[in-house]
Amino acid sequence: MNKQQGGPRPPMGHPGGRFSGPIVKPKNQKETLLRIWSYLRVQRIELISVVIFVIISTILSLVGPFLIGKTIDDYIVKFDVSGAIRMSLLLAGVYSVSSILTWVQTFIMIRVSQKTIRRLRQQLFEQYQSLPLAFFDKKQQGDLMSRMTNDIENLNAALSQSVIQIVSSSLTIVGTAFALFYLDWRLALVTLIIIPLIVWATKQIIKRSSVNYKARQRDLGNLNGYIEETISNADIITLFGKEKKTLSEFKVANEKLRSSAMRADIISGFMGPINNFMNNLGLSLVIGVGAIMAVTSGLSIGVIASFVTYTRQFFRPINQLSNLLNTFQSAVAGSERVFEILDEAQEVADVANAKTKEKFVGDVVFEQVEFSYEAGKPILRGIDFHAKAGETIAIVGPTGSGKTTIIQLLTRFYDTTGGRILLDGEPIEQYKMASVRDHVGVVLQDTYLFSGTVRENIRFGKLSATDEEVEQAAKIAYAHNFIKYLPEQYDTVLKSGGLNLSQGQRQLIAIARAILEDPDILILDEATSSVDTMTEVHIQKGLNNLMKGRTSFVIAHRLKTIENADQILVIKDGQILEQGNHESLMREDGFYATLQRQLMS
């Protein structure tokens, strides 16, 4: 079937850097983590190797400071140059192996992450293709895009970076604490005094940063929305001379963003200096107390040097962990949003033993059809008509009366909530959904063209069509008349949505697309509403040829175009108010006749 449908996050940065944005917490973290693991466990060998490499590289990084102390006490103080050189080479080897293992574990984890994200992204996209139209009616496109991009990328960043660093930081803290107490328990206690202060300061900054970053994201979203709106409607702004008003409103929105961003950045900017102060304070305590102990109790210079190195190694992962855990929480929350979509019920499956039909005659019957999007709010009530094969059925009525809903039921975008629809004498549900849609051609009022050439967009109606068939369809739709004047004719590349064509030209290409499909049932939903009168005359000739021998449903506001229809259904408030051909309805002098007189006056 020819279907037509019509705030960036701040960069994650290095975990040791300043806080990067608002914390979003998952609703059910345990369940979400188990689902993430279900994607990861197929690569358990790689994950086990990563854990082993993390443990080894962490141990090596802990051995380094101990060797530095031994080198000072056993060789440097004793002026043993050859021994000092040997220890220096050993230190170089230890740190080199640790660095190589860190690179290897990062490389493996990135591969694991990318494979997982590729699978998850593929599943989410496939789910989008399988969800019923009602789902998209209730969701914002921006939110669905955000789940496909931001939420999945947050998980990608967490898997490829945060997981390793959380494990490494935790092991480093535990291992360093053990090493400190092994060297000297008294000096180790002095080192630990500063930790509660670091944790408290970090929590206070993150708490205030979160509030301000949320305000910044809100103001950024508002500004982006305003920019998109003004660019999309630049012609309206110019026609009404509202440039100064637009600039004034932009200035206000821009100032709001500046103010909230400044507050957020200033508060989060305290993180680095405060952490440095705390680290240096802890280091000063170690050096000061260590110096006193060296004088009073004979603590060796090597042990003090080891403590200085361990202290720096101890505080850094503590500072990192809070940010890493917050980043990981946001990633889990994003995964939860992705899983919410994956858990949505897909489009109603075909009934057992559903039929496939190569060709439909096109006999359509609506028997007391009822439909409502929400319980208790009926859209269609008792719709009853018979469209015989080859007939043209026109549907007219006020906006919101249910005209398009009738078409959506026929294409099975939705299923009836009462009554039934017969297609060639069988309930429409007895046919496979794909079989019905493959034989129904639709041209909607809101035309959408894809990025690609004109030829590719027309061929979307029948992918196996030859170039000659594409051009023939364009000629029937009277699209060839303007295509031949395009820079590359049928090979002209269209922007997304066909924005480098006029609305009328896009409509003509959409009609050519439906013609190429050669459907058994044709649906025209305001198909000529966006073309000028002369073009409409040409299109109508092509459509008249196309509709011969096919059951056609035409929704139109221009009543002149449907006067030759076999049946005209006048819909109002979800019910058929009048039914008949043009002449009989004019004789009835009812609602349809009133509409005709209003158009003529």
Q: What is the DSSP string of 547-596?
A: HTTSEEEEE-S-GGGGTT-SEEEEEETTEEEEEE-HHHHHHHTSHHHHHH
Note the pLDDT tens digit of each residue in 130-153: 777 667 766 666 667 777 777 777
**pLDDT above 50: residue 11:** no
Classify 366 as helix, strand or coil. strand
Q: Which of 13-22, 47-56, 460-469, 569-578 has the lowest mean pLDDT?
A: 13-22
How far is it, in rounded angstroms, from Cα 276 to Cα 15? 15
Angle at 369 between CA 367 and CA 373, to 5 degrees: 165
Tokens of 126: 């496939």
With bands split at pLDDT 50, 70 and 90, how would you rate the model's confidence at 18? very low
- Residue 285 has a pLDDT of 76
Which residues, 6 or more positions from 596, have their beta carbon under 8 angstroms from its beta carbon? 559, 586
How far is it, in rounded angstroms, from Cα 371 to Cα 437? 20
Contact 525, 407 (CB under 8 A): yes
Q: How far is CA 347 from CA 138, 141, 147, 335, 441, in A?
A: 15, 18, 20, 23, 20
Note the pLDDT tens digit of each residue in 345-393: 766 666 667 778 778 888 888 888 888 877 777 888 888 889 888 888 8
Q: Which residue has the higher pLDDT, 434 or 54?
A: 54
Contact 553, 393 (CB under 8 A): yes
Architecture label for domain 29-184+299-342: Up-down Bundle (1.20)
**Sign of the alpha-carbon dihedral angle for 540, 544, 550, 551:** positive
How far is it, in rounded angstroms, from Cα 2 to Cα 81? 83
**pLDDT above 80: residue 212:** no
Tokens of 587: 């004789």
Note the pLDDT tens digit of each residue in 88-125: 888 888 888 888 888 888 888 888 888 888 888 888 88
How far is it, in rounded angstroms, from Cα 476 to Cα 235? 33
With bands split at pLDDT 50, 70 and 90, how would you rate the model's confidence at 326? low
Which residues, 6 or more positions from 111, have their beta carbon under 8 angstroms from its beta carbon? 46
Contact 569, 576 (CB under 8 A): yes
Contact 357, 407 (CB under 8 A): no
Q: How far is CA 267 from CA 18, 212, 274, 368, in A?
A: 10, 8, 11, 64
Angle at 535 between CA 446 and CA 456, to 5 degrees: 55
Length of the chain: 601
CA 447 to chain centre: 23
357: which DSSP letter? -
- Residue 8 has a pLDDT of 33
Percent of the chain with pLDDT over 70: 80
Neighbours of 243 (CB within 10 A): 12
Residue spans per domain, the chain: 29-184+299-342
Averaged pLDDT score across all residues of the chain: 77
**pLDDT above 60: residue 47:** yes
Burial (CB < 10 A; 0-12, 13-18, 19+), residue 588, is: middle
Q: Which residue has the higher pLDDT, 528 or 476?
A: 476
Which residues, 6 or more positions from 303, have their beta carbon under 8 angstroms from its beta carbon? 69, 73, 183, 184, 187, 290
- Residue 349 has a pLDDT of 65
- Half-sphere exposure (Cβ direction) of 544: Cα atoms closer than 13 Å: 12
**pLDDT above 80: residue 59:** yes
Note the pLDDT tens digit of each residue in 536-555: 676 666 667 667 778 888 88
Q: At what angle do helices 81-130 and 29-40 cross, to 10 degrees?
A: 100
**Sign of the alpha-carbon dihedral angle for 91, 92, 96, 102:** positive
How far is it, in rounded angstroms, from Cα 425 to Cα 432? 15
How far is it, in rounded angstroms, from Cα 82 to Cα 87? 9
- Exposure string (b/e) for 60-82, b if CB count within 10 Å is 16 or more? bbbbbbbbbbbbbbebbeeeeee
